[in-house]
Chain A
Amino acid sequence: MNYKTPVAVWLYMILTTVGEVALFYSAKPDTFGVTIGIGVIAMINSLIAALFLMNIRKEPPVIQYLMLAPLALIMVLILTMLFAFAQ
């Protein structure tokens, strides 16, 4: 069994999660840049988990669309909610 890839993915996610916390302690927490940075790390980590732990990269495109469709729909909902009263 090839342990290298899963262990590397796991190690990457652990390190970046530690990086999130380091980012939090490194600056004022409510700094916009920190928020963006932590958000980007979380998104990349979730993408990596989907690609390598769920192995979605090896699934046929129809499965990828099946997972992308609700993501897209829920993003529309969340953005609509967040900007409902934005001027």
Chain B
Amino acid sequence: MNAWLSRWLYTTNHKDVGLLYIAGSMYFGFVGAILILLVRVELAIPVCATGVSGMCWPSATQTFLSAASFNQAVTLHGLIMILWFLSPLAIGLANYFLPLQIGAADLALPRVNAFGYWLWLFGGITATIGFFLPGGNTAGGWTAYSPLSSSTFSPGAGPTLAFAGLIMLATSITVGSINILLTVAVERGPGITWRKIPMFSWFIIFTIVAMLFSFPSFLAALLLLISDRVLGTMYYSASAGGSILWDDLFWFFGHPEVYVVLLPAFGLIAEIFPVFSGRPLAEKNIILICTGAIVIPLSYMVWSHHMFLTGVTLSEDEAFSVATILISLPFDVITLAFIKTLTRSSIRLTAPMIFCIGSVFLFIIGGITGVFLSSFVLDVVYNNTYFVVGHFHYVMVGAAIFGLIAGLYYYIPIMTGKMYHEKMANWHFITSFIGFNILYFPMFFLYDMPRRIYTYQSLPSWNTLNLISTVGAFIFAASQIFLLANIVWTLRAGKISPPNPWGATTPEWVPVITGASHGAAASMGSMPGAEAGEHHRHESSRPIWLATGIAVSFLGLALLVYSWGIAVFILGLAIDGFAVIGWMYEDLHETFHMPEGVTERWPFNAIPKMRLGMWIFLSTDVIVFGAILGAYLYIRSFTPDWPIPGSVHEIPLGLANTIVLLTSGLTAFLALESIKEGKQRNMIMWLCATFILGATFLGIKGAEWYNLYFVKGFTWNSSIAGSTYYFTVGLHAAHVTVGLVLMAYLIRKAMMGGYTKENHAGIENFALYWAFVDIVWIFVFPLFYLL
């Protein structure tokens, strides 16, 4: 294969993956912008009143976009901009610069990093395929509220593919979060203690913590949704209170996501302000404490303010209203600290600096208008209006994107080895800032115009404001041409950058601090020989194949309505099987090996890297299973005619299966204890016993399902009780199946003498995983069989 192509397809290098994320997010940003420009054209003018002509659409059916097209465009605009543009742009910068800032050779799990990227990219492509299918794409808004997202109101393969794309995205973000957190925990270079971690990396850590526990909830919600759509389960049916269930699971993710988008921008501001103001960041420790408080617990304590008007109790409204006001306080402190940094300083107005100042300015407007919305009384008026649209765009677009663009300009010298065109960047800021405010400020005065309407009757108070807003949209979109042009100009004609053009003091600019061989050497356009050598040693085709297999199998799943859908699904599984075997082969023969150097690890000194990774993964799985079991409890509380315990399930069979699984937990533990003492034969024996017990568990489960489904007629789409049972037990069985695959690999490696008294991380991690599977079943058995 062409060397250039194979580099970008098979790379696992954090800089390459970072650049891929940045390029990919810009592509999706372009798609999202086109979609919203279509929407703004539609909203620029109203429908003509009877007998009137001129600057208006002739009738409600003769508009620029049809209602269906409008809804699809606005829905995908939201999804793409938040999940495939804003967050990934930050992830791209984090991929590139976090390892440099903390002196790590790469991310802790490079192949997982590459896998996360490809899954994210294919997820985005999958989500947009629906535009080209009969029936179009999902059209229920980016929030995918139930029942709008159901097969009844959003029929066809397009919406299913969009939700499948979201599942891929949530999985990608979750594995990416685990990877970055692991890197920070155990891969910091010598001397990089927690206190010495630069601010951008600190804010990325906070962002990752917010992602770590919020995206699994989204993943759980989406799995239930796709199960409803493909299998016909009834999680989000009205009779089970499904709308509120979706709201809770979605916003438990959705509100922290706001901070996921915002915090990286704040990290860049905290990095850039001191460099260009000549003063150290004011109140650094207080900023860190405030950001920590925002992420945990406050960001997880405010989601219900999105549900003030859903009829939840007044006391819940009050509690979430107070929590929402509370979360504004640390933001006030952070903003004031930023402003204090600039006070009486010598500001250099370079592009990164002016974009940062713009970001803070826009955040203040967005933040103040957000305080209005924290009141559940005012929310009655503002809910679902353009005031809300204005507010969140000031925060998520204004503050976030201006901060991220500042970061791009700031780091272009490292990423390209060249200097960008300063004057062009200044024009970029001026036109962006003007365009942005012309676009969004009028929306605060459209507080009586409902959002998500595709057209409107002529109203003097709406017409002009909407027209102004549309003009602003085009200015804002067009201004981004300056950025693209600047990047192209920089690559082709930019002057060679000095090693540290800004006089920054953080490790990515001054590699000698960490001893890492990073800096302005690696570039988008070329790859110096030494770096290329390092890169090729870490090349792997497995990540892209694994992601491809998942994408293809989801494609098949969504297209099951066609006779060939099942063939596509099986093809996807086959590709995945090939990729997994290949991945394991690489591990077995150590063809892909990341040596662990001397690193700062406190307080994780005593924990091997992979074990810590497993703990972090399990912490996310707690959220997934917690959300699924929470959904079950919620549905039970809403469903009076639940089958009497014991009337459907064979309790003795369930008990027998529980004993089998608990026994397998013991044998897995004994396998670990055996290898800790160097007894390899015993370890293999106990592993084999665990495998047999796990397989027996699945066998009994299969027999039980057969009996329930075919003999008793208790199917997953016959009742909500059936839906919850099959889904929850099925998800657990999927975990057991993954455990069996892992065990097959472990047994094979153990027979090759791959584990010793000193080196048995694989067995240790598996024992942890298997014990977790046991614990989940300890709850599932009584909940579904006895209560």
Contacts and interface: CB of A to CB of B under 8 A. Distances in A.
Interface of A: 1-3, 6-7, 9-10, 13-14, 17-18, 20-21, 24, 29-30, 35, 38-39, 41-42, 45-46, 49-50, 52-54, 59-60, 62-63, 66-67, 69-78, 80-87
Contacts of A52: 669
Given A6-B666, A29-B787, A46-B778, A83 B603 contact: no
B782 A85 contact: no
Interface string B606-641: 110000100110111011001101100110010000
B644 interface: yes
Nearest to B315: A83
B775 A74 contact: no
Contacts of B618: 67
17 contacts: A1-B677, A6-B666, A10-B665, A17-B662, A18-B655, A21-B655, A29-B646, A54-B775, A63-B615, A73-B296, A73-B300, A77-B300, A78-B634, A80-B316, A81-B634, A83-B313, A84-B312
B131 interface: no
Given A20-B782, A70-B626, A77 B787 contact: no
A71 B626 contact: yes
A77 B637 contact: no
Contact of B603 (A3, A24, A62, A71): A62
A1 to B, nearest CB: 5
B614 to A, nearest CB: 10
Interface string B665-705: 11011100110010100000000000000000000000000
Contact of B666 (A10, A42, A45, A54): A10
A1 B679 CA distance: 10
A61 to B, nearest CB: 8
B726 interface: no
B366 to A, nearest CB: 26
Contacts of B571: none
A36 to B, nearest CB: 10
Contacts of A80: 248, 304, 316
Contact of B630 (A17, A20, A66, A78): A78
Given A21-B655, A24-B651, A49-B774, A1 B674 contact: yes
A39 B297 CA distance: 27
Contacts of B297: 72-73
A14 B659 contact: yes
Given A10-B662, A82-B637, A83-B313, 16 more contacts: A1-B674, A13-B778, A29-B786, A29-B787, A39-B782, A42-B781, A46-B775, A53-B665, A53-B669, A54-B772, A59-B607, A69-B619, A70-B619, A72-B297, A76-B301, A77-B627
Contact of A71 (B311, B606, B622): B622
A74 B658 contact: no
Contacts of A2: 673
Which of B615, B626, B782 has the most A CB atoms < 10 Å from its CB?
Answer: B782
Given A82-B637, A84-B316, A77 B217 contact: yes
B645 interface: yes
Given A69-B213, A70-B626, A76 B645 contact: no
B245 interface: yes
A45 B780 CA distance: 12
A74 B669 contact: no
Nearest to B772: A54
Contacts of A70: 213, 619-620, 622-623, 626
Contact of A66 (B244, B616, B623, B629): B616
A9 B603 CA distance: 30
Contacts of B301: 76
Nearest to A86: B313
Size bin of chain B's contact surface = 35 or more
Nearest to A67: B619
Contacts of B249: 77
A77 B674 contact: no
Interface string B757-773: 00000000001100110
B779 interface: yes
Contacts of B633: 78, 81-82
Interface in B92-151: none
Nearest to A64: B615
A75 B629 CA distance: 11
Contacts of A86: 313
Given A17-B659, A46-B778, A62-B604, A74 B666 contact: no
Contact of B673 (A6, A77, A81): A6
Nearest to A45: B778
Contacts of A7: 666
A79 to B, nearest CB: 9
B480 interface: no
Contacts of B244: 81, 84-85
A46 B615 contact: no
B503 to A, nearest CB: 36
B213 A17 contact: no
Given A10-B666, A80-B248, A1 B623 contact: no
Nearest to B314: A87
B643 to A, nearest CB: 11
B774 A53 contact: yes
Given A24-B786, A29-B644, A81 B677 contact: no
A77 B646 contact: no
B462 interface: no
Contacts of B679: 1
A45 B781 CA distance: 12
Contact of B778 (A42, A60, A82, A84): A42
Nearest to B635: A81
Contacts of A42: 778-779, 781-782
B663 interface: yes
B252 interface: yes
A51 B311 CA distance: 41
A67 B615 contact: yes
